[in-house]
Each structure stands twice: as structure tokens, then as C-alpha cells.
Amino acid sequence: MLDEGIALFDEAFVRDRTNYLIHVADALTQPGPQRDLDAAAERGMLAIDLAESLDSARGNNRLRDLCHQMEPHAKVPTVRDFLDRARVLAQV
């Protein structure tokens, strides 16, 4: 449902879409039955796609926090790809 809600944001709400994608990715990395590291990395990549068009220190800080959250899972290929790309943007 969150993904559907995020998709409803108008193109003008890039910053909001980015932040919500990061929040969803973070939730998907937490221990429990909802954990899905591939889905978390996918949401993270979508957030990076959007964040690249922004000049936002706050957004980069949130990406940096997500990187730290996902670091322990760097052996998962999709997570590793996300981390490689996010490190450049978030300067981790």
C-alpha cells in the first residue's frame, strides 16, 4: 500500500517521494517477517534515481543512514549494488 501511495505523488513532489522510498527501504531492512533486502535495495535505488535530481543535504543524510543500515547485508548482490551507487551520491 505504501508503494501505491508513493506512486500517487505528483512529479513535483520529488523530495517527498524520495524520503518515503527511503523510509520504506529502511523498514524492509528491519528484522522480522517483513524483511526483504532485495526489495529494500530496489526502493533505495529508486530513491537514488530521484535524489540525483535534487540538491538536498537532508536527503543525502537519509541515504547515508540507509547505507549504514544496509551495510551488514552487503553480501547480498542487490544490496551491494545499492551501496556502491549510494556511496557516491551520499558521500559515504
Q: What is the SS3 assignment for 13?
A: coil
pLDDT at 66: 93
Q: Is the pLDDT of residue 76 over 80?
A: yes
pLDDT at 56: 62
Q: Domain boundaries in the chain?
A: 2-90
Instruction: Tell me the pLDDT tens digit for each residue of 32-69.
Output: 999 999 999 999 999 999 888 876 666 578 888 999 99
pLDDT at 92: 55
pLDDT band at 90 (very low <50, low <70, confident <90, very high): low
**Residues 51/82, Cβ–Cβ less than 8 Å:** no
- Mean residue pLDDT of the chain comes to 87
Q: Identify which has the larger pLDDT, 81 or 90.
A: 81
Q: Is the pLDDT of residue 15 over 90?
A: no
With b for 16 or more beta-carbon neighbours within 10 A and e for fewer, the 2-20 pattern comes to eeeebeeeeeeebbebbbb
Q: What is the SS3 assignment for 62?
A: helix
| Closest C-alpha to 50, from 64, 40, 60 | 60
